[in-house]
Amino acid sequence: MGGLVRSTGSGMGCPDWPKCFGQTIPPIDESQLPADYKDQFLAKRLKKAEKFTSLLNELGFTKLAEKVKNDPNLKIAHPYNKFTAYTEWINRLFGVLTGVLSILCLISARQFIATDRKRFWWVVSGVFWVVFNGWLGSVVVDTNLVPGIVTAHYAAAYLAMGSFIAAMPVSHPFILTKRKFTLFIFALLLLLIEVFTGTSTREILDTLQMNENFVLSLDSVWLPGKIFNIHRLFGVLVFLINIYLLYSVRHQNPKSNFAIAQKWVVILFIFQILSGTLNTLFNIPSLVNVIHISASAAVVGVQLWMLRNRE
């Protein structure tokens, strides 16, 4: 859902948080809003952004505070758009559902306090990152998608996912040689770098697209420079390493749990590469970016599950 919000430009579909245009359910038409609603919500956002920058200064993040405070996009007022408002609102509903399920998971995990304390604390970690990410979502809105904050929002989602996967019971254990395990960890680290260089690339392009004269094309997509090149290079490296791992484990035991999971990693990676290539060549971000982001998250999730089940 976050990928859908990002790819459709719906991040500021609701200019306030946790409500949307001051309502629990967004209005269905602009006529239901006050005549000066843009100025009202802009003033509220600027007030919240000021509190956030003060917090950053108190925590010692003075450069980030100045970056947020002086970002020209902070003072942009957002008009009502039914599609983007409801896209963002539905995303928030999924966020609430995630929070409720996380709390239920924490209640259930109390049974492990005495018998398997590590699992319990992994669940606590997952709940923390879900709650933190909910708060960070409000910051994303209050700062009008300032670069860096959006990436942090994305990272917190991965930390939540990783924590809950680590809390899962080992149900399909498998053994890897030290060499294959080292290669597996190396590929996972490269993948994480690739994911976040991709997010940074998208942030740069989103910022450029706020300029009315900017047109996203095959030429302009290269403007992020080194970050985009690293993203593409690491993608190719990770794919080749995973192809090798799949060939290696299938050669030894094609029916092993690791081989089956590794097959899905490669399939998902193919979707990721194809969707990224299509987006670069033809600039069709809405559907393709959702596939690209979802495939990335799925690959990381499967590989973390594999890491959890290694003996």
Domain boundary among 149, 169, 189: 169
The answer to whether 187 and 241 have CB atoms below 8 angstroms apart is yes
Answer left, alpha or beta for residue 40, where phi above 0 means left and psi between -120 and 50 means alpha.
alpha
Instruction: Give average pLDDT by consecutive 10-residue segment, the chain, 311 residues.
Output: 78 85 91 90 85 86 82 80 92 92 95 92 96 86 72 87 92 79 88 84 70 64 75 88 88 80 91 80 70 87 87 67
The verdict on 160 and 197 lying in the same domain is no
Element containing residue 103 per DSSP (H, E): helix 82-109
Rg (CA), the chain: 21
149, with CB counted inside 10 A (0-12, 13-18, 19+), is: buried
The verdict on 127 and 244 lying in the same domain is no
The verdict on 163 and 180 lying in the same domain is no
Distance between CA atoms of 188 and 194, rounded to whole angstroms? 10
Distance between CA atoms of 174 and 168, rounded to whole angstroms? 15
182, with CB counted inside 10 A (0-12, 13-18, 19+), is: exposed
The verdict on 82 and 62 lying in the same domain is yes
The verdict on 223 and 98 lying in the same domain is no
The verdict on 254 and 309 lying in the same domain is yes
Identify the residue whose tokens are 């080194």: 226
The verdict on 311 and 221 lying in the same domain is yes
The verdict on 243 and 293 lying in the same domain is yes
CA-closest candidate to residue 78, choices 148, 30, 8: 30
What is the structure's pLDDT at 214?
65
**Per-residue pLDDT tens digits for 129-139:** 999 988 888 88
The verdict on 222 and 310 lying in the same domain is yes
Distance between CA atoms of 42 and 54, rounded to whole angstroms? 18
Which 8-state DSSP code applies to residue 75?
G
The answer to whether 126 and 163 have CB atoms below 8 angstroms apart is yes
Domain boundary among 136, 169, 202: 169
Domain boundary among 152, 169, 186: 169
Number of domains composing the chain: 2
The verdict on 18 and 100 lying in the same domain is yes
The answer to whether 65 and 87 have CB atoms below 8 angstroms apart is no
The verdict on 145 and 209 lying in the same domain is no
The whole domain housing 247 covers: 173-311
The verdict on 252 and 160 lying in the same domain is no
